[in-house]
Amino acid sequence: MKTTSGILLLDKGAGPTSFDVVQRVRRLCGVRKVGHLGTLDPFATGLLPVCVGEATKLVPYLGGADKTYLAHLKLGEETDTLDSTGKVVAKSEKLPAVQDIYQAAALFLGEIEQTPPLYSAVHYRGERLYRMARRGEAVEVPPRRVVIHCLEIEAVALPWVTIRVVSSPGTYVRALAADLGKVLGCGAHLVGLRRLAVGAFRVEEALPMCVLDNPENLPLLWGGIIPLAQCLPEAKAVRVGAGDLRRLRQGQVVPAPPNGFEERELVRVVVDDGLAALAEVRQGRNQKVLVPVRVFCGT
């Protein structure tokens, strides 16, 4: 079967790491270049967009998308990993009133400072944090700024709380759960996490992980892949002549079509139904031009 490039939406189950899923796709599809758009912890489920072939070149442009989660918390217990996979390090018998939970959740909306969990893959001083944590090293991890666009309380049945979160990339829902527990004065940890969306991609559109179990499912896999030309729907599509296309592929600047493009706007250069390049609109000496930033093969 001819190799196809694009984005494969998978509904990851609990257990495998995101890298495990990438490896399975690589083996099944026989494609060397495979990556994903944002790690899901092994115990987490939900949407894992996997970039196949030339689509790996899109990661810098898609990896910054907001993400939507459904998270289940347990109040009254803290763990060393901030989730149910760790050891309980503190307990509280006193749980907050339901109204207090709603008020505390509102405090996290907008731009906040968040300290990444010690048991995470964040690089610190040239090493992954989780390796330092497993050695018992005391590490003062600097906080970083993230944005919580939405934090809604979906259900409360103490000590259990379910929240819906829409956040910027780099947000740790485990850390958000622990911080919410601190504000409430009872502690909390994450007991379940499901990713519902990554940017415009939705888990409802995803294929189940079981399609990776059998090579006979390969046609289904390729049939469900999102073609390169459709992977950045928010970027306008432009068409150029054969000569300009050749020059773009050689890294040269070409005139932009007179369609009112904005300065620094990212556009898709399409040929037939394929994506030939991503280009940025710049102001040239006499007119706006297209500056190639990514060129794609096989279109």
Active site residues: 41
Residue type, 7: I
Q: What is the DSSP letter of 185?
A: T
Encode 281-292: b = buried (16+ Cβ within 10 Å), e = exposed.
Answer: beeeeeebbbbb
d(CA 148, CA 168): 7
Classify 132 as helix, strand or coil: helix
d(CA 166, CA 171): 10
Burial of residue 251, with CB atoms counted within 10 A of its CB: 0-12 exposed, 13-18 middle, 19 or more buried = exposed
Residue type, 43: F
At 224, give phi and psi (nearest 5°): -95, 0
